[in-house]
């Protein structure tokens, strides 16, 4: 089995999916998502011709750039400053990977480094999902798909569902949704290795990516009209009053 | 020219024009409503067998179109629902011209109409949920409608169709494997199981109901009504069509029993949750869930009463949801919110809208003298014979929704919260009044619908069995 489509790449895909769920920093999560797209493209070459497989990388890359720009526009990191998913102050584990908010914590005079409850919760959830996965992997039978790709596909579904369950933030939910979709596409490529389904599913991913980017901007501008003005962003759409006038 | 290409292409062409007009709401609303109404009229009057001479073209309504590996074909079974989605869109566009539902509603509403229609025309049927996923991704923009803040409604509405369609695609693959080894029952069982999972996500019934109250709480009301009704309509059509096309599905699942229990749990749970709501949007969402639960129960009653009763309940549901949406839209617009606190005293300033809001909401619970009463009463009578405990659960659910609306009424009749609340626009109150009278008429003389119901039921029965 060639090096670029072998077990190391499968492990890499799994690791990227897990990191996407665990990491608190949205930029690193996006990086993991982009890396996952590249690795999935490599794996997909075992099932599809290279140009079709490369479509996944193209779509994944475009979506990652789109989300990155949207998040930067609305200053996503600062928006979430001091808020976890539940709106409570977020504590972090290490300055580089898990502490987007270290400055605020120090400003508050709390001890540093501190353990992130949200990160820990996610880590624990991924651990439990991993246990479940290893427990059930003997029973997993996906038709046509080689066993290592079946494992990758199932792990991606698991991580996708986990990301969706753990957060209602557009960015994190979007990452979860596209991870789920990636797992399905890997499976479906073995069932229907044809251009039409690959193109249709790729275009759906792109459309979902655009929708999530729009939601990120809508979420990010909440209560910050000054930010929209300062960034020169037009109002997303006319309000009722505007339309009535 | 093929009829299906016309049915799908006309709204898309109109969407491009309306996009340019979107800043002039009355103009955009008029064009959108006219296109949707004209399409409804055409599909109703030109059946799939018809050949129509248009200037310079011959329109063959039943001619199929091949697109991206699937066939789009106007069938007698899909025709009533096509008329319904187009007519519904026309009414929603018209009202949105009076009370803004977001600028993007007109162009994107037309694109969504085209996608919902495509889902009704698609062969094989298992590809239709993919189109619903596309519709869900586009619906995000009209649900959010430029409102900064919570994105829960849009996100949840996006999720469920996106999670459902893979099950149908894999089920289709299993069905393709059947001819290779016709004696092997495994592909049949796998396909039946996968379709059941897919429908669980698509139906959005309890416990996967989170998208519905989130949608009604956050989306503009007419957008909610349009999306809920079109989505419900397409999903129920698909359920009926798949059960008729693949009759062996019932060998693997007792579909009637599943629908009955799913409906009862949905109705009971949503009625329970409706009691404690403090916002009309969310309350309306739970009321619509209760009604949908009732509809599933009606389908679960099976032949011969199930389908006709469900059809009449669906027509009543459409009238009730649109009526409630009209009232809620005006209330939100004028009172700057829909919480009971903000809506306090609004009945004095917005009498027609408040009447529409209450009549629409109570109709969803099957309250007497509302459009929902005949259907719910018939259902309750049948159910009390077949499953008395289920009938009691349904009654308790209805009581929960009614209590929720009575609490709302108490607030609406209370002291005025904001003295600046303007009176309702005349055209909006006129439209609400017309629909109120129509729903009262349908309540007092439900037999007016009987011919329509039998036509629709007969059309839905024409789905041909697929040979594997």
Residue B436 in domain: yes
CB A99 within 8 A of CB A28: no
Which ranges of chain A have pLDDT less than 50?
A: 81-99, 101-113, 236-245
Q: Which residues of B touch A188 (CB under 8 A)?
A: 166, 169-170
Give domain status of residue B227, yes or no: no
Neighbouring C-alpha atoms within 13 Å toward the C-beta of B178: 17
Reply yes or no on whether the pLDDT at B318 is more than 70. yes
Which one, of B145, B120, B148, B165, lies nearest residue B8 by Cα? B120
Rounded-to-integer distance, Cα B302 and Cα B315, Å: 19
* pLDDT reported for residue A75: 77
Q: Are B93 and B109 in contact (CB under 8 A)?
A: yes
Say how far apart CA B325 and CA B353 lie, in whole Å. 9
> Is residue B263 a contact partner of residue B340, using CB atoms and an 8 Å limit?
no
Q: What is the CA radius of gyration of chain A?
A: 20
Q: Nearest chain B residue to A189 by CA: give it.
A: B170
pLDDT classification of B451: cutoffs 50, 70, 90: very high
Q: Which residue has the higher pLDDT, B57 or B310?
A: B310
Give the whole-angstrom CA distance, residue A98 versus residue A25.
6
Chain A contact residues (CB < 8 Å to B): 164, 168, 170, 173, 177, 180-181, 184, 187-188, 191-192, 194, 196-197, 199-200, 204, 207-208, 210-211, 214-215, 218-225, 228, 235-240, 242-244
Q: Do A196 and B166 touch (CB under 8 A)?
A: no
* Cα dihedral: B433, B439, B440, B443 (round 10): 180
Let me know: does B341 contact B417? Beta carbons within 8 Å.
yes
Task: Report chain A residues whose CB lies below 8 A from the CB of B68.
Answer: 196, 199-200
pLDDT digits over B341-391, tens only? 999 999 999 999 999 999 999 999 999 999 999 999 999 999 999 999 999
Asked if B144 reaches chain A (Cβ–Cβ under 8 Å), the answer is yes
**Alpha carbon A185 to chain centroid distance?**
16
Q: Confirm whether B115 is domain-assigned.
A: no
Number of domains comprising chain B: 1
Domain containing residue B317: 254-468
Backbone angles phi, psi at B393, to 5 degrees: -60, -40
SS3 category, B71: strand
Mean pLDDT of B270-293: 96
* Model confidence pLDDT, tens digit, residues B80-106: 999 999 999 999 999 999 888 998 999
pLDDT > 90 fraction of chain B, expressed in percent and rounded: 80
Q: B159 in contact with A at a CB cutoff of 8 Å?
A: yes
The Cα B110–Cα B102 span in angstroms is 14
| Contact (CB, 8 A) for A37 and A61 | yes
> A1 to each of A4, A7, A45, how far by Cα in Å?
8, 9, 12
Greatest alpha-carbon pair distance for chain B in Å reads: 74
Q: Determine the 3-state secondary structure of B36 from DSSP.
A: helix
């Amino acid at each position: 089995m060639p090096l670029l489509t072998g077990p190391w790449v499968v492990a890499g895909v799994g690791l990227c999916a897990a990191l996407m769920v665990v990491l608190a920093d949205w930029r690193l999560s996006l990086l993991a998502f982009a890396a996952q797209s590249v690795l999935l493209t490599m794996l997909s070459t075992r099932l599809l011709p290279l140009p079709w497989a490369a479509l996944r990388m193209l779509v994944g890359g475009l979506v990652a750039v789109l989300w990155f720009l949207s998040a930067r526009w609305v200053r996503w990191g600062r928006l979430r400053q001091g808020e976890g998913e539940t709106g409570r102050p977020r504590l972090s584990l290490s300055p580089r990977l898990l502490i987007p908010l270290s400055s605020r914590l120090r400003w508050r005079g709390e001890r540093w480094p501190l353990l992130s409850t949200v990160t820990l919760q996610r880590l624990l959830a991924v651990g439990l999902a991993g246990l479940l996965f290893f427990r059930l992997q003997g029973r997993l039978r996906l038709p046509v798909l080689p066993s290592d790709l079946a494992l990758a596909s199932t792990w991606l579904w698991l991580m996708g569902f986990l990301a969706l369950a753990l957060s209602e933030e557009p960015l994190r939910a979007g990452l979860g949704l596209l991870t789920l979709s990636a797992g399905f596409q890997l499976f479906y490529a073995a069932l229907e290795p044809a251009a039409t389904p690959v193109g249709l599913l790729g275009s759906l991913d792109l459309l979902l990516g655009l929708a999530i980017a729009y939601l990120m901007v809508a979420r990010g501008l909440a209560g910050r009209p000054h930010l929209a003005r300062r960034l020169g962003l037009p109002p997303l759409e006319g309000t009722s009053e505007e339309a009535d006038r | 020219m093929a009829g299906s290409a016309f049915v799908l292409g006309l709204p898309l062409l109109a969407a491009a024009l309306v996009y340019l007009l979107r800043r002039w709401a009355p103009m955009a609303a008029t064009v959108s409503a006219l296109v949707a109404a004209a399409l409804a009229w055409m599909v109703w009057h030109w059946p799939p067998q018809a050949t129509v001479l248009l200037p310079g073209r011959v329109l063959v309504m039943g001619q199929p179109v091949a697109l991206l590996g699937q066939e789009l074909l106007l069938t007698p079974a899909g025709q009533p629902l096509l008329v319904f989605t187009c007519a519904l869109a026309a009414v929603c566009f018209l009202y949105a011209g009076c009370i803004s539902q977001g600028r993007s509603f007109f162009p994107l509403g037309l694109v969504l109409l085209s996608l919902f229609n495509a889902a009704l025309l698609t062969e094989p049927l298992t590809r239709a949920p993919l189109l619903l996923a596309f519709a869900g991704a586009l619906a995000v923009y009209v649900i959010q409608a430029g409102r900064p803040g919570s994105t829960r409604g849009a996100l949840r509405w996006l999720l469920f169709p996106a999670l459902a369609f893979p099950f149908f695609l894999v089920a289709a693959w299993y069905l393709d494997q059947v001819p290779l080894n016709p004696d092997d029952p495994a592909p049949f069982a796998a396909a039946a199981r996968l379709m059941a999972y897919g429908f669980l996500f698509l139906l959005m019934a309890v416990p996967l109901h989170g998208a519905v109250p989130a949608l009604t709480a956050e989306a503009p009301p007419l957008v909610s009504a349009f999306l809920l009704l079109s989505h419900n309509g397409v999903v129920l059509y698909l359920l009926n069509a798949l059960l008729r096309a693949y009759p062996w599905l019932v060998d693997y699942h007792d579909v009637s029993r599943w629908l009955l229990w799913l409906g009862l749990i949905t109705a009971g749970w949503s009625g329970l949750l409706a009691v404690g709501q403090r916002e009309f949007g969310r309350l309306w969402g739970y009321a619509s869930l209760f009604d949908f639960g009732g509809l599933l129960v009606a389908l679960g009653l099976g032949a011969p009463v199930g389908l006709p009763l469900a059809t009449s309940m669906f027509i009543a549901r459409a009238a009730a949801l649109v009526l409630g949406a009209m009232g809620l839209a005006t209330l939100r617009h004028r009172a700057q919110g829909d919480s009971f606190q903000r809506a306090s005293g609004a009945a004095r300033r917005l009498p027609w809208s408040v009447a529409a809001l209450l009549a629409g909401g109570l109709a969803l619970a099957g309250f007497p003298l509302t459009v929902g009463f005949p259907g719910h009463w018939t259902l309750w009578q049948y159910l009390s014979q077949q499953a008395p405990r289920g009938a009691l659960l349904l009654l308790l659910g209805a009581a929960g929704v009614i209590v929720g609306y009575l609490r709302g009424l108490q607030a609406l009749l209370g002291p005025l919260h904001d003295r600046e609340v303007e009176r309702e626009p005349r055209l909006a109150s006129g439209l609400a009044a017309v629909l109120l009278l129509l729903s009262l008429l349908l309540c007092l003389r439900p037999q007016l619908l009987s011919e329509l119901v039998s036509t629709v039921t007969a059309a839905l029965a024409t789905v041909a069995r697929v040979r594997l």
